Amino acid sequence: MFGTRHTVRLRGIPRLPAITAMAAMLLWPAAAEAGFSDAFEKYVAEDYGAALVAAEPDAERGNPAAQWLIGTMYLLGKGVEANAEVARGWFEKSAASNYPPSQAVLGRMFEQGIGGGQDSDEAHILYRLAAEQGYADAAYLLGRQFYHGDGAPRDRKAALKWLTVAAEDGNAGAQYLGARILLAGEEVTADPERAEGWLLSAAEAGHAESQLLLGSTLLNRPGARHTRAVGREWIEKAAAKGLAEAEVRLGDLYNSGIGGRPDYAAAFAWWQKAAAQSNAEAQLRLARAYTRGRGTARDYTQAYIMASLSALQGNVLAAELREKILLRLRPEEAEQADREVEALVAPRLATGINPSS
């Protein structure tokens, strides 16, 4: 609807949508005063200095599209030094003119505390203002709030309403969350066919979580071997993208021999990839593999380390396994293993990341 989008990551947070191409003069005529189209063309051409010079007069006169463009440049550091506070100020000016792209981005900044205070309730208001104008990105963000109960009451019906707006516009994140609601049938009538249609669309667009869910859905469906093979292929695609949950799932498939003979070494290798991302389930599986000597040499010290790392994230089964493995270690081996666990956890603590998060 608004052309090509790109995404950026800020402070390790989820992707923040930012518009990079849109027909502003056609879609938002109230904002399309003389000069802005020239500024936007220069921005798309990556002539950021000229874009800023061209946009500033319109922005100072109150053109919300020009204000949005300057905010975007400061947010992404395009032609200027990145400054989230300055960006937020420009988005606030633009959003005050009821400009949906700025309302959506500003809402995300409020939700995540970027460039100022964090306020999920204010984010909710901004998302709704933009979504009610048909802005798909905002509809997704609004639906996501209702889905998670963050900034809005947890409400699957309301979530599905807004996610549908975004899903039908091709938003992969909305298609994924909407499919989860339709598959579970929680507070709404289950609709597996519609869910799979959305998942397929998102999976084909490269959305890893959708690829995993679609693959798992097909694997769990009784029926032809071909369907299960296709399901496995989608899980492999998600794992190839580095999605830890998909790496765990693919490891499980190799371990159980679904679609062929068990391949414990391959299972171990995929679990290692997920464990490298601090996935607690993968760490537990590695601990079991080390304990049994399956897919790798038996190593109770490594089993203890993996079980400890998983237990630190709140995995009860890992904590129970850790105590059993401890009985097989000499005191000096356990002390050395504990030091290794501390060394692995220390970098996360130094960056303010809770090992259990």
The answer for residues whose C-beta is within 8 angstroms of residue 14's C-beta and 6 or more apart is none
DSSP 8-state secondary structure symbol assigned to residue 29:
G
The residues spanned by each domain of the chain are 5-186+194-199, 230-350
Q: What is the pTM of this model?
A: 0.84
Nearest-5° angle of CA 119, CA 121, CA 127? 105
Q: What pLDDT score does 201 carry?
A: 98
Give CATH superfamily name and number for 5-186+194-199. Tetratricopeptide repeat domain (1.25.40.10)
Cα torsion through 292, 298, 300, 304, rounded to 10: -70
Q: What pLDDT score does 350 carry?
A: 56
Q: What pLDDT score does 36 carry?
A: 77
Question: What is the dotted CATH code of the domain comprising 230-350?
Answer: 1.25.40.10
Domain 5-186+194-199 and domain 230-350 have a common topology:
yes
Q: Which two tokens stand for residue 91?
A: 């988005």
The whole-angstrom separation of Cα 338 and Cα 341 is 5
Q: What pLDDT score does 25 carry?
A: 27
Q: What pLDDT score does 220 carry?
A: 87
The answer for residues whose C-beta is within 8 angstroms of residue 59's C-beta and 6 or more apart is 66, 67, 69, 70, 90, 93
pLDDT along the chain (357 residues), means of 10: 32 35 34 66 93 94 94 94 96 96 95 95 97 95 96 96 97 97 95 97 98 95 81 97 98 88 96 98 98 98 98 97 97 96 81 53
Q: What pLDDT score does 42 carry?
A: 93
Q: Which two tokens stand for residue 320?
A: 């129970």
The whole-angstrom separation of Cα 177 and Cα 139 is 12
